Amino acid sequence: SATPIIPKRPQQILSPTSALEEARARLHVSAVPDSLPCREKEFSDIYSFVESKLYDGTGGCMYISGVPGTGKTATVHEVIRTLEINVEEDDLPKFKYLEINGMKLTEPRQAYVQLLKELTGQKATPDHAADLLNKKFSTPGPRRETVVLLVDELDLLWTRKQDVMYNIFDWPTKQHAKLVVLAVANTMDLPERIMMKRVSSRLGLTRMTFQPYTFRQLENIVTSRMKGLRVFDDDALQLAARKVAAVSGDARRALDICRRSTEIAESLHKGKGEILVGMLHVNTALEEMFSSPKIVAIRNLSAQEQLFLRAVVAEFQRTGVEESEFSKLYSQHLSLCRFESIQPPTTSELAGMCSRLGSMRLLLVEHGRQDLYMRVRLNISQDDVLYALRDTEFS
């Protein structure tokens, strides 16, 4: 069949042997720890919200926002896990947990289908599923248990009529629904920006924002994962945490950098016994992740291509416009070649170079059929080009 599948591993991965490997396994983004450090307040807020709804037997909505990698989904999962433990100890009434992810749906209206399937096991078309769900939530049922629904990536459920969002937020307001909706998205002002008034008013005002992690929190997260392992130098850890916090405050990014620096440390000191990941390794990893690949690309271009970029900058500086026709650039390139006293390329050769630079996205070019009238723009700033070309052959 044509369905692609991931090829199987030839052999199972061995369990980690060295301390570094153990650290790597723990630092993996998928290895969610038992307790989330630095999110205690958010945890207790969400917990008490859901708990109160469970006790009262009512429904409600909560909107959770925050930039990527701030632990939104992980916290909600943590809340649910704790609630389920409490239910088992008979401290709380029973509930059912459902989850839909906007990114995993092929189409917003598929949300109905998936909801119905998880709720009752039935399969139906989107329209029919919506009808069934409507009926289910608006009529009283004997001994109905509360349903907790996590809607991840809410912004992808947007449709022109917004009927999917409307229904999801409308059901909890029904008397017999007993539905608790936890909606998760990235932007804080999503309800005001894309939702119609009647949708955002049903979403209500129970909102929660996850702030990006500060460097102390990031450091905390990594050390909590490294409990009982002596792998990282403290200063190195702080460097990684500070760098990430300065840019985005994304915990995933911090974990990735730490993982990468363990790899670098391992490859640098192969078979030299126990090693501590130090500043040097973290710094290398940071440079790898944060440095602009475009500058590296420009440094590694061929001489003529570098000269062409120089011609582009020269032409832009001459005209003062950040866009030029290929014919103008060609004559500029010719005169640069004359200055450097090297053999100038033909138009075809230069067009080939131009399209190569365009396919590397250093330039923005049009289709080749316009040939001499093809308009060319730079995809990076002129200063970056000049900086990258500073110590090259023709500078």
Partner 1 sequence: MEDWRVLEDTVPCREKEIENILALMGQKDQMTPASVFIYGHTATGKSHVVNSLLKISQVPYVLVNCVECYSSRFLYEHILNNLSHTNHTEQYRCDNMNDFIRSFQQIIEEKNYKDHTVYIVLDKAERLREMEANILPSFLRIQELTQCNVCVMFISEIVWDKFRSGTGSCEPYILQFPDYSKDDLMKIMSLDCPTDYDVDFYSNFTNLVLSVFHLVCRDLKELRHLTMLNFDKYIEPIQKGEATMNDSRKLWRNIEPHLRKALQTVYLREVSSAQWEKLQMEMSSTESTAMLSRSHVELPFYSKYLLIAAYIASYNPVKSDRRFFKKVSKMTRRAALMKKKERASNHLLGPKPFPLDRLLAIFYSIVEGRVAPTANIFSQITSLVSIHLLGQTAGDDQIEMPKYKCLISLDFIRSVSRTVNFDVLSHLYDFM
**Minimum CB distance to partner 1 smaller for 41 or for 367:** 367
Least distance CB 351 / partner 1 (angstroms): 5
**Minimum CB distance to partner 1 smaller for 137 or for 330:** 330
Least distance CB 355 / partner 1 (angstroms): 4
d(CA 268, CA 185): 41
Least distance CB 309 / partner 1 (angstroms): 17
Least distance CB 334 / partner 1 (angstroms): 17
d(CA 345, CA 331): 11
Tokens linked to 282? 């973290």
**Minimum CB distance to partner 1 smaller for 263 or for 366:** 366
Residue 65 pairs in a beta bridge with: 185, 209
SS3 374: coil
Least distance CB 218 / partner 1 (angstroms): 38
Least distance CB 344 / partner 1 (angstroms): 17
Least distance CB 373 / partner 1 (angstroms): 12
**Minimum CB distance to partner 1 smaller for 83 or for 351:** 351
| Cα torsion through 292, 296, 297, 300, rounded to 10 | 180
Ordered strands of the 363-365 beta sheet: 324-325, 375-378, 363-365
d(CA 354, CA 326): 9
Secondary structure letter of residue 150 according to DSSP: E
**Minimum CB distance to partner 1 smaller for 255 or for 357:** 357
d(CA 326, CA 91): 74
248, 212 contact by CB (below 8 A): yes
**Minimum CB distance to partner 1 smaller for 126 or for 344:** 344
Amino acid at 198: R
Least distance CB 360 / partner 1 (angstroms): 8
Q: In angstroms, how far is the first alpha carbon of the chain from the final one? A: 56
Least distance CB 352 / partner 1 (angstroms): 7
DSSP class per residue in 279-348: HHHHHHHHHHHHS-HHHHHHHTS-HHHHHHHHHHHHHHHHH--S-EEHHHHHHHHHHHHHHHT-PPPPHH
**Minimum CB distance to partner 1 smaller for 353 or for 389:** 353
DSSP class per residue in 95-137: EEEEEEEGGG-SSTTHHHHHHHHHHH-----HHHHHHHHHHHH
Give the residue ranges of DSSP H helices in 101-233: 110-120, 126-138, 163-170, 190-194, 197-203, 215-225
**Minimum CB distance to partner 1 smaller for 369 or for 390:** 369
d(CA 271, CA 233): 19
**Minimum CB distance to partner 1 smaller for 86 or for 347:** 347
**Minimum CB distance to partner 1 smaller for 141 or for 368:** 368
| Binding footprint of partner 1 on the chain (CB under 8 A) | 2, 347-348, 351-352, 355-356, 358-360, 365-369, 371
SS3 48: helix
Least distance CB 191 / partner 1 (angstroms): 38
Residue 208 pairs in a beta bridge with: 64
In the block, tokens 């009752």 appear at: 120
